[in-house]
Structure formats: C-alpha cells, structure tokens
Amino acid sequence: MTRDIDILSHRRTFFLAVNTGFVTDGIPDQRFLDFYATRSSPELYCSIVGNVVVPGGYRTNAVTPVLSENLIWKHIADSIAAKGSLPGIQLATTWEGYIGQKKFRALNSAAFISEACRFVDSMTISDVESTLNSFEFAADIAIKHGFRHIQIHAAHGYLLSLLIDYRINRNSATVLGTLASLAERLKGRGIETSIRISCKTGDADFDSNGAERLQDSVANLPFDYIDLSSGFYNIDKRLIYPARPDVIDSRLHESISIGLRHPTRSFIISGRTFKHDWTDLASNFHPGICRDLIANPRFLQERHNGCQNQNRCHYYSRGEDHLTCGRWLSS
C-alpha cells in the first residue's frame, strides 16, 4: 500500500463528476454540499462537481442541477477548498426532448447515432454558437462562485460530444476552434481546464471508423487535461462505468494508447483506476476516481476499502431520484 502511494504521489487525483440527484427544486442542497465536502481532502487534488447544466441548457435527468447565481454554489466551492481540494465543476447540456435510457444497453444503437446526426444537422449556426456561448457564460458564473477548474462535458452522448465529432457534425472544426479559444481564455485568467470525451460510443460499427481521429483532434486542444471516459449513455452505459475486467482493461489500454500518441499532454484516466499497476505508466497520466470515493468518502486514506460493485449507485437506471450506495449510507 505504501508503494502505491509512492507511485501515485507525483500524480494528481481527481474526483470525477457524479450526478448525485442531491437537489431541491433544481438547486443543490445540503446533501450535495456534504457529499463533496466529506470527500475532499489534501490527498484529492481536485473535486469536479457535476454534471451541472449551463444556464439555458437541458438536463441529463430531472434531478440534474442548473448553474445559477444562487450562493449555494459558492458554499460548495468554498467547502471543497476548505477541505484541501481544488474546486472543479463539470458543465454540460443535452437538448430539448432528450431522455436518458434506463436500460444499460440500447437495443438499436445505430438508431441513436442516426437520430443524433439528424438532430445536429437541424441545428443552425446560431444554435451552435449560442450553445457554446452558454458554456462561456456558465464558466464565468462558476469562476465567480470560486470554482478553479472548469471541465467541459463533451462525453457520454450529450450535446457537445455530438458537436465535436466530425462523423456526426460536419462543422465540428468550428466547434473545436471555439472550445480551444475558451480554454485559452480560461487559462489566461489562471483557471485550470479539462475536457471530457468518450473514446468510444459503444456502437461497434461507428467506433470502428474514425475514433482515433476524433480523440487526436481533442487531445490537440489547449485544455490542461483531457479526461478520457467511454460510452454514450443511450448506447452502452457499461462503458461509462466499467465493471467487467475485460471492459476495464480495454478502457485502460485505449487510454494508454491515446496518451502515448500525445506524450506532452496530460490525461485523466478512469475506470477502476486504482486497481491498475501505475508503476510503468507515463507521468502524463493522472488518476480519476468515482465509485470508490462514493462508497467510502475516506477512500484515499484507506485504499483497500472502496466500491464493492453493488450497483446501487445507478439510481436513474433503477428508477430512483438520488444517489444511494450499498456501502455508504446516504441520507
């Protein structure tokens, strides 16, 4: 265990976004604040709260919080910082009429891809611009509240993951250019940035052609970190929260191969990260964790004692309205 800690000591550990459902009337409540405060510590470099909908945007589910001027956001950022972690926030939007599927795998994933292409085709230049502007506006609000790491959610089949993908959006280069400018502007203000992508959607045919080009186009953007996730929510959630050893291994290998293609960029890798041997991993990889820290708020101090795969945390898929865990007893 001491050796693990030594190997990881020069890397930065991120608590990755969790849509907790701890909201009242769309606003984070005390449960939300406590959830993040109790998991933040000097051992955790950055706690990324999320996902949080940009003003004017659309939620991933009915209990996704929307960013606003409400001072609860400042209290959340302050409480994370007071516990020793950098306060981060993941900004996201879906689109009008979006419904996340309850099943873990879609019966017809090609249909979701076709629908996504049609939807993106129907967006005007001004629709896309106003979507991207709302991320800039949201980043301003978040910074005012005290968040110091802004993550752009361009993963999991939500709107930005469609807009950045040249296979779905013929104007993806413009979108990538606008995101690059946003990252530069935030950096100029001393704010750390990341962008989260899905390396695969989960649709085998779609993924077999052009995924590397997408990954490379994002890895070249001037964000401080590229957060490598996988899976589209409405195609295959097993890639988002891998549990099977083969899925965990293939996510790690894919992440490593992207990192090796871009040795000067920093990557956050996730998917049971602390089960891997970090000895030989290059120093541009940083661990992102989620379920272990949900299950045990003190996981970083007790690394043998984390998630046991009870699957209770998938509250939306189970028809519930907030996070629960078989190990951690939430309110």
Ligand X SMILES: Cc1cc2nc3c(=O)[nH]c(=O)nc-3n(C[C@H](O)[C@H](O)[C@H](O)COP(=O)(O)O)c2cc1C
Q: HEC string of the chain?
A: CHHHHHHHCCCCCEECCECCCCEECCEECHHHHHHHHHHCCCCCCEEEEEEEECCCCCCCCCCCCECCCCCHHHHHHHHHHHCCCEEEEEEECCCCCCCCCCCCECCCHHHHHHHHHHHHHHCCHHHHHHHHHHHHHHHHHHHHHCCCEEEEEECECCHHHHHCCCCCCCCHHHHHHHHHHHHHHHHHCCCEEEEEEECCCCCHHHHCCCHHHHHHHHHCCCCCEEEEECCECCCEHHHCCCCCHHHHHHHHHHHHHHHHHCCCCEEEECCCHHHCCCCCCCCCEEEEECHHHHHCCCHHHCCCCCCCCCCCCCCCCCCCCCCCCCCCCCC
- Is residue 223 within the footprint of ligand X (CB under 6 A)? no
In the range 42-101, which residues lie near ligand X by CB under 6 A? 50-51, 90
Give 188 or 319: the residue with its C-beta nearer to ligand X: 319
Give 167 or 237: the residue with its C-beta nearer to ligand X: 237
Please, what is the minimum distance in Å from the beta carbon of residue 157 to ligand X?
A: 11
Please, what is the minimum distance in Å from the beta carbon of residue 227 to ligand X?
A: 8
Number of residues that bind ligand X (CB under 6 A): 25
- Is residue 268 within the footprint of ligand X (CB under 6 A)? no
- Is residue 323 within the footprint of ligand X (CB under 6 A)? yes
Q: HEC string of 44-94?
A: CCEEEEEEEECCCCCCCCCCCCECCCCCHHHHHHHHHHHCCCEEEEEEECC
Give 174 or 250: the residue with its C-beta nearer to ligand X: 250
Residues 44, 289 contacting (CB under 8 angstroms): no
Give 289 or 300: the residue with its C-beta nearer to ligand X: 289
Which tokens hold the place of 268? Answer: 């956050």
Rounded to whole angstroms, how far apart are CA atoms 83 and 151?
A: 20
Give 15 or 112: the residue with its C-beta nearer to ligand X: 15
Q: Which stretch binds ligand X (CB under 6 A): 14-22, 103-111, 136-144, 253-261?
A: 14-22
Among 229, 234, 255, 266, binds ligand X (CB under 6 A): 229
- Is residue 32 within the footprint of ligand X (CB under 6 A)? no
- Is residue 196 within the footprint of ligand X (CB under 6 A)? yes
Give 4 or 129: the residue with its C-beta nearer to ligand X: 4
Task: Find, among 98, 193, 67, 174, the residue nearest to 129 by Cα.
Answer: 174
Give 132 or 242: the residue with its C-beta nearer to ligand X: 242
- Is residue 16 within the footprint of ligand X (CB under 6 A)? yes
- Is residue 240 within the footprint of ligand X (CB under 6 A)? yes
Q: Which stretch binds ligand X (CB under 6 A): 24-32, 39-47, 106-114, 283-291?
A: 283-291
- Is residue 289 within the footprint of ligand X (CB under 6 A)? yes
- Is residue 17 within the footprint of ligand X (CB under 6 A)? yes
Please, what is the minimum distance in Å from the beta carbon of residue 248 to ligand X?
A: 8
Please, what is the minimum distance in Å from the beta carbon of residue 289 to ligand X?
A: 4
Give 211 or 240: the residue with its C-beta nearer to ligand X: 240
Please, what is the minimum distance in Å from the beta carbon of residue 314 to ligand X?
A: 6
Please, what is the minimum distance in Å from the beta carbon of residue 184 to ligand X?
A: 23
Residues contributing to the site for ligand X (CB under 6 A): 16-19, 50-51, 90, 153, 155-156, 196, 229, 240-241, 270-273, 289-292, 313-314, 323
